[in-house]
Amino acid sequence: MRQCLRDKIISVCDAKIAQKGEGVGLSFYAFFANRNTDPTLLMEAAEWWIKTHQLDHFEKAVKIRDMVRAGQ
């Protein structure tokens, strides 16, 4: 996964957690304004989320942030 996507995921997760608490969930769509913003990067996030890690549609932001920080 590209570093710019890793940085974006961590930033969005941190903001959602600060806003709604540690129990907040999100999907990989949360990292994009809409699906047409950057389709290549969206597909990279989707592949990481669905294919690589087989995550549910909604996951806890804390879990996603920690996975990305750990380099998974």
Q: What is the pLDDT of residue 36?
A: 77
Three-state DSSP state, 25? strand
Q: What is the pLDDT of residues 12-59, one digit of tens each?
A: 999 999 999 999 999 999 999 876 778 899 999 999 999 999 999 999
pTM score over 0.95: no
Mean pLDDT, to the nearest integer, of 6-11? 96
Q: How many domains does the chain have?
A: 1
Q: What is the pLDDT of residue 50?
A: 95
- What is the extent of the structural domain holding 11? 3-69
6, 49 in Cβ contact below 8 A? no
The residues that bridge with 25 in the sheet, in sequence order, are 60
